[in-house]
Amino acid sequence: MNCRHCKASLELSLIDLGSAPPSNAYTTDIRIHAPEKYFPLRVLVCEDCWLVQTEDFTQADKLFDVDYAYFSGFSTSWLKHSKQYVNNMVGRFNLTQDSHVVEVAANDGYLLQYVKGYGIPCTGIEPTASTASAARKKGIYVVEKFFGKELAYKMADQGKQADLTVANNVLAHVPDINDFISGFSILLKASGVATFEFPHILKLINNNQFDTIYHEHFSYLSFIAIDLIFLENGLQVFDVEEHKTHGGSLRIFAQNSDTGTQPISNTINEMRKREIEAGINSVDFYTGFQKKADKIKNNLLLFLIEAKNNNKKVVAYGAAAKGNTLLNYAGIRSDLISYVVDKSPFKQGKYMPGSRIPIKTEQYLKNDKPDYIIILPWNLKHEIMQQLYYIKQHGGRFVFAIPELEVI
């Protein structure tokens, strides 16, 4: 396989997580006895541009289909984060009712609803029918297509260029990263600004976050890699921020290389220096990650087997993609984890892909009173523990598998 950005041959392996179905391909009662499609989940590192990426086995339109079930609006902390972002951007870049904001991967309108609240014209680009429909119900205009140069040219020709573009947690989801990023240089007005948020691979590796790896994520990004890719596709990074979301993320600010007017922040050199000191651009940084993942998997299995032998009931919370990566890599089924609870009605009544563990409502959990509940979306640890406060009242305990096994 060759690198998705620079086309160099890929030889360095970061991790091999075996095979699993796409992490958001939830199974229904009708399909519960039908076979599932499994794809290998192996991640490689480009030693030329340092883009970390999955092997090519499936296409984006097979992953983000009409049944795609990830809705951003069900996370209270993510909504708070998004609202604060909008408030900050409106002030920092003087956005008004004469401005135009475009979000790529607008999902269910979780963010653009706050832009709309300011009376600022906005457009969402969202290829999945289920989430696009939810955004339209919020009164948001949605273009239901995948984003790239072709769509960017079309919107520019229609006079729909943007003062601000938003792309949160989508850079990892695009197989053709060059076409995707080039699209922003076309869509932006001459002095427009583009922001991108994505999980930082420095945090992913240092904190053993291997469950952030799944088929829908084609790339895993460092600042060094993304700065180079942007530059070669017509964008200049002028600022970078760190955020705690998704276990540790970067927010990148970029502008057109030729026409941008924003000054270059000192944060650029500071972040580049930190990554180099950590070894992001060296082979040694990426070796040993497989052993860390195996240790987490083995410790979780030992805990589950011991709990079963002691007649303790274990369930889980959060039918999210990262949970599916962990469950399928560890080979966990409903004999060890009885069910998974999730707030989203789009997932309730279905089954986790691969493991086929049933997904229940929170009311079911309240009535059941299990001994242990594993919080799969560990990045929402405190939010979920507060939500499930009643677990401790009946003697139940919270369990986290990542970054290491913890029972609270």
Looking at the structure, tell me whether residues 273 and 321 fall in a common domain: no
52 part of a folded domain: no
At residue 12's C-alpha, the angle toward residues 296 and 38, to 5°, is 60
pLDDT digits (tens, 9 = 90+) for 288-311: 999 999 999 999 999 999 999 999
Taking CA atoms, 111 is separated from 74, 86, 104, 252, 275, in Å, by 12, 8, 11, 17, 30
Looking at the structure, tell me whether residues 206 and 263 fall in a common domain: yes
Query: Which structural domain range is residue 398 located in?
Result: 289-407
Domain harbouring 140, CATH code: 3.40.50.150
Amino acid 331: pLDDT: 97
Which among 60, 39, 44, 41 is positioned nearest to 9, based on CA atoms? 44
- Does the pLDDT value for residue 200 go beyond 60? yes
pLDDT digits (tens, 9 = 90+) for 352-389: 999 999 999 999 999 999 999 999 999 999 999 999 99
- Does the pLDDT value for residue 245 go beyond 90? no
Looking at the structure, tell me whether residues 199 and 178 fall in a common domain: yes
CA pair distance 245, 252, nearest whole angstrom? 14
Span 141-145, average pLDDT: 96
364 part of a folded domain: yes
227 part of a folded domain: yes
Looking at the structure, tell me whether residues 333 and 301 fall in a common domain: yes
pLDDT digits (tens, 9 = 90+) for 59-107: 555 554 445 445 555 578 889 999 999 999 999 999 999 999 999 999 9
Looking at the structure, tell me whether residues 297 and 277 fall in a common domain: no
Which among 18, 100, 56, 4 is positioned nearest to 326, based on CA atoms? 18
| 8 Å CB contact between 204 and 234 | no
Instruction: Provide the mean pLDDT of the chain.
Output: 94
Total domains in the fold of the chain: 2
Looking at the structure, tell me whether residues 261 and 314 fall in a common domain: no
Looking at the structure, tell me whether residues 111 and 248 fall in a common domain: yes
pLDDT band of 24, cuts 50, 70, 90: confident
CA pair distance 73, 51, nearest whole angstrom? 30
17 part of a folded domain: no
| pTM reported for the whole predicted model | 0.91
Joined tokens for residue 366: 């309240």
